Structure 1
Amino acid sequence: MRVCVVGAAASGLPSIKACLENDIDIICYEKTSDIGGLWNYRPDEKNIEGTVMATTVVNTSKEMMAYSDFPPPEDWPNFMHHSKVNEYLHLYADHYHLKDYIKFNTAVKYITEEKSSFKVQLENGEVEHFDKVILCTGHHATPYHPQLRDVDKFKGRIMHAHEYRDIKGFEGKNVVLLGIGNSALDIAVDLAKIAKSVTISTRRGTWIFNKVAAGGMPYDTLYMTRFFQQHPTVNDALANLICSGLITVTDDVDTFTADKVITKNGRSFDCDVFITCTGYVIGFPFLDPKILTIEVCSLQYTPQFSTLIDYNRVKFMENSRKFYIRKLPQNEVSLYKFVFSPNNENLAVIGMIQPIGSILPISEIQVN
């Protein structure tokens, strides 16, 4: 049996290892020059590949983010700088000799089905055939850009968090960030050092936790319970910066002028740079859609509820005026057990999840 793995990062590496442990003929294609994916820091903001910020420190302790059979060195900090995470992935790959099975600087152009196998076309013109395919490309490649009213009136800079690397060029600027996830808060804390003003616009707020809990223990070694069904945001510095007036939190953005952002409660903020921290779009541009379908939801606006709903998924209760609305993402992919394509059992997708905690051990479980 021949297996193709696409992507050599947090999900691709354990996929290679699992195949080798089962004596499977494996080739992994990685379009960049090194392993690591997001954790392989590249400072060029124009690089289309996703990467972390210069100051990124993980929000998950090293004990909870490690692969089960390869703990990080004991003398490493509980919460690692991104360079340590990348180093850890290299140590893991070197220990199990995984790099021998990776073809670097080799991008997959298109994957189609041919009878009982997959035809894999590479950007360099080569064509290979495989019995099974494992996709490990993650979901941080294509930024989601929300539709914003009157944004065309704004004359300042608009960018996505995907482009942000460091504080250079933001000195003395009025910055407004849309969103309140980990990326938004990390950028806000970073910019509070040098920007004239930093404002976070949020639709509904979030729970904020420190990385270290009572007694000095990493929070995720104590609190991984069903209490965290709502995704929390982890940041140690935010609260103090809000109390100090260096960061302002406001409601959702409504409209724009040439140099201001107006929120729905009527507040006005000077703005030179507007950063959308609105997540990413799931996509496999190199995959025949017949193999795996990305569902783009048909959404309609209902003023009564001020929300987007999919009328196909509204469930009415008999003999009652009550009904429930399921809020849907802009796109989604249906996977059996979050791994297997319902259209082809020989295609697996590893790491296409947004866990509370690290993706590394979950990817390892999925692969096994």
Structure 2
Amino acid sequence: MAKRVAVIGAGVSGLSSIKCCLDEDLEPICFERSNDIGGLWKFTETSKDGMTRVYKSLVTNVCKEMSCYSDFPFQEDYPNFMKQEKFWHYLQEFAEHFDLLKYIQFKTTVCSVTKCPDFSVSGQWDVITETEDKKDRAVFDAVMVCTGHFLNPRLPLESFPGIHNFKGHILHSQEYKIPVGFQDKRVLVIGLGNTGGDIAVELSRTAAQVLLSTRTGAWVVGRSSHGGYPFNMMITRRCYNFIEQILPSCVLKWIQERQMNKIFNHENYGLSITKGKKSKIIVNDELPTCILCGSVTMKTSVKEFTETSALFEDGTVEENIDVVIFTTGYTFSFPFLEEPLKSLCSKKLFLYKKVFPSNLEKATLAIIGLISLKGSILSGTELQARWATRVFKGLCKLPPSQKLMADATKKEQLIKRNVIKDNSEDKLDYIPYLDDLAACIGTKPNVPLLFLKDPRLAWEVFFGPCTPYQYRLMGPGKWNGARNAILTQWDRTLKPLKTRVVHDSSKPASMSHYLKVWGTLVLLASLLLLCKSSLCFKLLWDKLQDRISPYQISIW
């Protein structure tokens, strides 16, 4: 009899988890509290249901080839970076293609997830759900929690003295949907992440003035890189990752700063990283231009609010502020879990490889998608789900819970004593983390072996972008279309761009064209000189023959 798995949430991570369960012949039942799939990618006009949703103008930060499911590429005519609606349609196509919708119970809230009395033997969970005021109870062999990062808005009002005296409008970015209602307002955006940058830029077109406050600063990159190719595809490569593992961190930091400041000098724009703060990168194509045009003004962190103004750490004051928007992130929680598991799962330090709680004697509960990656979250959550389902099935083993708890507790103590830094909240390096999970499953690409068996593919795998298809080339879950997907990834990248192909003789010639033209001219000139020199040689020879006797010529 197939093991029954409860999947909580039908967003990006939940859809991955349902499919991975089916791939391993498990029986998934997904509980989704809204009426549709997609989680935060399903746009709604309001946030009255308490769920975090994208704002209408949002565009993906990771290009399509780097952010697709590993065995389901985007259609080739999809843009490389797409609006939220287009991405949601892709999720719907994925769900329909693999027939996932029939495993989802919509408008169903998970009330509690508790261990069964015989958990130490069976590893089973008692799950209570509620659908339209009707409660139901069921026993599951495993649980996959796919509620994600963006659950509760983080609104740190206590960190801003005088905020309660402020007479203007205060909101969190969770409430922001469209720029209507901000016309001719003076708006202060607090927090410089991807969301803060996006909202500041969008409001700069309608508001009287936008002020963007940051404690740390940020490196700002665009979606396109050298030659106009997607930035993610140009930098996320195994060859670069190999170099990063060798070079000292100080050298890497120096190289990064030089490359970032080549685009524009971040210090001149008020964006440079504050000394002592962690470096971070945001994706925004328009923010530097808005700063350059004066429609967005960069500010330091807010020291204090008054009824109508804000005093900043550098001593400057901005008067007549109408709206303050906090883009200060989110907190996550698991209200349906019991203690001490609930508290433990809120500490990423105690999640083995960011997935399995360390204290469970039976590894039958997995947290999927609670990660920050320097790359596509979707790719990471899919590999997490592939690994977790194989652990549930007994095909992959974990270290004993006693060892996991001991290791995590020891690390926590070292952090408290300031012996080591707490990096549990830092963004994970994309390729090392995915390779780590893939090694657990047995799907990590064997690059040296590929160079022997398939040099063309190996070249793309090592020197090309590390797209998700690489984790379908071998091992469990191997996809026969993975090789072709890798070899044609640039075709799908360029396809939506080439909507106007001009065959024009005035088109700037390539370097090879110039070499051919000049090479031909040089060759002709050489032949003429050779012919001319041959003629001169013949005349000289004739003159010599007149002066030299026939006998001497015969000797020659």
TM-score, normalised by the number of residues in structure 2: 0.59
In 2, Cα distance between the equivalents of 1:367 and 1:199?
41
Do structure 1's residue 363 and structure 2's residue 376 form an aligned pair?
no
1:263 pairs, out of 305, 312, 321, with 312
Q: 2:334 maps to what in 1?
A: 284
Map residues 75-86 of structure 1 onto 2, 5 A cutoff.
Answer: 75-86=77-88
Q: 1:139 aligns with which of 149, 162, 165?
A: 149
> Which of residues 108, 113, 126 is equivalent to 1:119?
126
Question: Structure 2: which amino acid aligns with 1:356?
Answer: K
Tell me, in whole angstroms, the C-alpha distance in 2 between the residues paired with 1:5 and 1:97.
Answer: 16
- 2:196–2:327 CA contact under 8 A, matched in 1: yes
Q: Tell me the SS of whatever aligns to 1:111.
A: strand
Where in structure 2 are the equivalents of 1:286-301 lying within 5 Å? 286-294=336-344
Measured in 1, the distance between the counterparts of 2:47 and 2:185 equals: 18
Alpha-carbon distance change, 69 to 295 in structure 1, aligned in 2, over 3 angstroms: closer
2:221 touches 2:285 (CA, 8 Å); kept in 1? yes
The one-letter code sitting in structure 2 at the alignment partner of 1:281 is T
Distance 1:159 1:134, change over 3 A: same
2:294 aligned counterpart, secondary structure: coil
Give the counterpart letter for 2:383 in structure 1: I
Q: Equivalent of 1:180, from 192, 197, 200?
A: 192
* Counterpart-to-counterpart distance in 2, 1:130 and 1:333: 26
Q: Distance in 2 between matches of 1:234 and 1:22?
A: 37
In structure 2, the gaps of 5 or more residues are 245-251, 257-277, 387-556
RMSD: 1.6
Q: Name the structure 1 match of 2:353.
A: 337
How much does 1:45 deviate?
Answer: 3.6
Secondary structure of the equivalent of 1:149? Answer: coil
> Is contact 1:174–1:198 with CA below 8 Å preserved after alignment?
yes
Q: Residue 6 of structure 1: which of 1, 5, 8 is its match?
A: 8
Residue equivalent to 1:96: 98
> What is the CA distance between 1:355 and its match in structure 2?
1.1
Moved more, 272-281 or 40-49: 40-49
1:249 aligns with 2:310: no
Q: For 2:351, what is the secondary structure of its paired residue?
A: coil
User: Counterparts of 2:281 and 2:167 in 1: how far apart (Å)?
Assistant: 34
Secondary structure at 2:66's aligned position in 1? helix
Whole-Å separation in 1 of the counterparts to 2:125 and 2:308: 52
| Runs of 4+ residues deviating >4 angstroms | 225-230
DSSP-derived class of the 2:224 partner = coil
The percent of aligned pairs where both chains have the same amino acid is 39
Deviation at 1:119, TM superposition (A): 1.1
Say which one has the larger Rg.
2
1:205 maps to 2:223: no
Q: More strand by proportion, 1 or 2?
A: 1
Letter in 2 for 1:186: D
Give the number of equivalent residue pairs.
334
CA contact 2:30–2:105 (8 Å) conserved in 1:
yes
> 1:158 touches 1:274 (CA, 8 Å); kept in 2?
yes
Q: Cα gap change, 1:332/1:341 in structure 2, threshold over 3 Å: closer, same or farther? A: closer
Q: 1:196 and 2:196 equivalent?
A: no
Distance (whole Å) between structure 2 residues aligned to residue 9 and residue 217 of structure 1? 29
State the match for 2:369 in structure 1.
351
Structure 1 Cα separation of the partners of residues 164 and 30 of structure 2: 43
Does the 8 A contact of 2:345 with 2:351 survive in 1?
no
Change (3 A) 1:69 1:231: farther
Return 5+ residue gaps in structure 1 as ranges: 297-330
Shift of 1:231: 3.4
Say whether the 8 Å CA contact 2:345–2:357 is kept in structure 1. Answer: no
More RCO (CA 8 Å, sep 6+): 1
Within 2, Cα distance between the matches of 1:245 and 1:134?
48
| CA shift for structure 1 position 262 | 0.9
1:114, CA displacement in angstroms?
A: 1.5
Q: Greater share of helix residues, 1 or 2?
A: 2
1:184 alignment partner, SS class: helix
Q: Distance in 2 between matches of 1:230 and 1:222?
A: 20
| Cα offset, 1:334, TM superposition | 2.6
Which secondary structure state, in structure 1, belongs to the residue aligned with residue 125 of structure 2?
Answer: strand
What secondary structure does 2:356 align onto?
Answer: coil
Letter of the structure 2 residue corresponding to residue 221 of structure 1: M
